[in-house]
């Protein structure tokens, strides 16, 4: 199933290629002990509207009972660009969107907390990074850093691992931070970034 297909901006009047995201059921196994969803991202280089194996750029998994009989999901928008993108050329990074107050105690029985974001760089030789930032304690939330070298809008949809054990057991201010590998090379965040809570 195609989760999101969006035309890329071309140059000099030439049409670009589509960025595709495809979701598959993931059976119980090494990637997801209790099953889940496999998410493949890539660019439709041959324009056949299908994400072929050789076009896959990244693969991520959402586990922890995605296919359970009862599922309650909450989403908190961290960043929204509408149809555009915002960027930074700083290795120190830039906070994007809103700073939110979050306390996981307000989500009893949560099984997973992760975030999703679209990111890309102006150069394929430069990595872009996105991370959840704990503004209260002044530190990056452990295991939240995501990276790729995609170069076309809106970028690749990145999905973090389950961060429920990394988020402190108290109310904190959370923001999302974008940064570049090389000072002066611009990286961008497109569309939306959201914190997703499932129980």
pLDDT tens digits for 106-117? 988 898 999 999
- Whether 40 contacts 56, CB under 8 Å: yes
pLDDT tens digits for 26-84? 777 777 766 777 888 888 888 888 888 888 888 887 775 544 444 577 889 999 987 78
d(CA 161, CA 174): 17
Task: Write out the E strands in the chain.
Answer: 2-7, 18-26, 36-43, 56-62, 73-88, 94-102, 112-121, 128-134, 139-140, 146-148, 156-159, 172-180, 187-198
Q: Is this prediction's pTM over 0.95?
A: no
pLDDT tens digits for 4-33? 444 445 445 445 667 778 878 777 777 776
Please identify which residue in the block is written with the tokens 């030789």.
125
Q: Where are the alpha helices (DSSP H) in 76-157?
A: none
- Whether 17 contacts 47, CB under 8 Å: yes
Position 130 confidence tier, pLDDT thresholds 50, 70, 90: very high
Q: Where are the domains of the chain?
A: 2-198
């Amino acid at each position: 199933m195609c989760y999101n297909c969006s035309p890329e901006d071309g140059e000099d009047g030439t049409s670009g290629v589509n960025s595709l995201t495809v979701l598959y059921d993931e059976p119980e196994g090494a990637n997801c002990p209790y099953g889940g969803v496999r998410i493949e991202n890539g660019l439709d280089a041959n324009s056949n509207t299908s994400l072929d194996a050789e076009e896959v750029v990244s693969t991520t998994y959402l586990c922890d009972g995605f296919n359970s009989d009862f599922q309650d999901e909450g989403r908190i928008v961290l960043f929204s660009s509408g149809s555009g993108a915002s960027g930074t050329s700083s290795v120190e990074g830039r906070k994007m969107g809103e700073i939110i107050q979050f306390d996981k105690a307000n989500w009893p029985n949560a099984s997973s907390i992760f975030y999703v974001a679209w990111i890309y760089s102006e150069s394929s030789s430069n990595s872009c990074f996105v991370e959840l930032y704990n503004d209260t304690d002044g530190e990056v939330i452990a295991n939240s850093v995501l990276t790729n070298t995609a170069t076309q809008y809106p970028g690749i949809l990145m999905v973090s691992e389950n961060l429920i054990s990394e988020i402190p057991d108290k109310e904190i201010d959370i923001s999302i931070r974008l940064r570049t590998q090389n000072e002066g090379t611009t990286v961008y965040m497109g569309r939306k970034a959201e914190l997703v809570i499932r129980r």
